[in-house]
Amino acid sequence: MTSHAPTTNDGWTGAGFRVRWILASAVGMAVAGSVARPLSYFVGGLAHEGLGTVFGEAVVGVVAGGGTLGGVALAQWPLLRGRVVWAGRWPAAGTAGGAAGAAAGFAALAGLTLLGAETLGAAAVLVFGIAAFLRAYSLVLGRRVPRAGWLAAGVGAAFLAAGLVSVIVAWLSGLDGGGPAFAALFGGLYGVGSVWALASWSRTAV
């Protein structure tokens, strides 16, 4: 099977492709975050009133996580189009993975916090969030993508690493954690990690 292989000469590792991918990720994160974050607060507020804290937080996660990662994946998609036959699945995978991961993590945190287990809730965000992200992302990519789970894991790890590094950089530099500069930083770092994940995955996919 060759559906995983890029069809252009620079593949996943050419400097031109990497630069465009990182820039697209930064811009996509800045734009998507500026829309998804306030929308999630608005929709989540309504959901809290009607569904309660746990389900309300799950709704916040769906809008924030799905909107942000879906927007980034949509910005990345033009670079994949024409390179792989499954490029059309990429934005859907980002949306589904982000929505499922954030919903599961936020809901777990809210539920355990209500039970007085805030510390356990912080760990549950990662456990439930990562599990849901990987499952949703892999399901959307489907059987047409060799070793879809490995690709999902690489993308997820890139997102977590980018989040950690960007928070540290923002803290040291004084950047507003909710501002476009922070989002662009986060997106650019995620772009670095995700393009590396693509390159690593393509060498092992069969």
Please state, rounded to an integer, the average pLDDT across all residues of the chain: 87
Cβ-in-10-Å burial (0-12, 13-18, 19+) of 71 comes to: buried
Q: What is the pLDDT, as a whole number, of residue 14?
A: 82
Residue 99's pLDDT is what?
Answer: 96
Among 43, 96, 108, 89, which Cα is nearest to 67's?
A: 96
End-to-end C-alpha distance for the chain, whole angstroms: 7
- Over the stretch 21-49, which tens digit does the pLDDT of each residue have? 999 999 999 999 999 988 988 888 888 78
Separation between Cα atoms, residue 185 and residue 51, nearest integer Å: 34
Q: Where are the alpha helices (DSSP H) in 81-147?
A: 89-114, 118-141
Long-range contacts of range 13-18, CB-CB < 8 Å, 24 or more positions apart? 13/199, 17/79, 17/195, 18/195
Confidence of residue 2 (pLDDT cuts 50, 70, 90): very low
> How much is the pLDDT for 5?
56
Q: Specify the DSSP element, H or E, that contains 88.
A: none
Burial of 96 (0-12, 13-18, 19+ CB in 10 A): buried
Section 168-179 average pLDDT: 80
Is the CA virtual torsion 127, 29, 3, 100 positive or negative?
Answer: positive
Question: How do the domains of the chain map onto residue ranges?
Answer: 15-204
Q: Read off the pLDDT of residues 64-115 as tens digits, 9 standing for 90 and up.
A: 999 999 999 999 999 999 888 899 999 999 999 999 999 999 999 888 888 8
Alpha carbon of residue 76 to chain centroid: 12
- 106 near 145, Cβ under 8 Å? no
Q: What is the DSSP letter of 81?
A: B
Q: What is the mean pLDDT of residues 46-63?
A: 86
pLDDT of residue 159: 94
What does the block give as tokens for 60? 């916040």
Q: Among 73-77, 115-119, 186-190, which is the least confidently predicted range?
A: 115-119
Tokens, residue 107: 């809901």
Q: Is the pLDDT of residue 191 over 60?
A: yes
d(CA 93, CA 98) in angstroms, rounded, equals: 8
Which tens digit of pLDDT belongs to each residue from 138-155? 999 987 788 999 999 999
What average pLDDT does range 40-66 have in this prediction? 87
Give the pLDDT mean for 44-60. Answer: 85
Asked whether the predicted pLDDT for residue 195 surpasses 50, the reply is yes
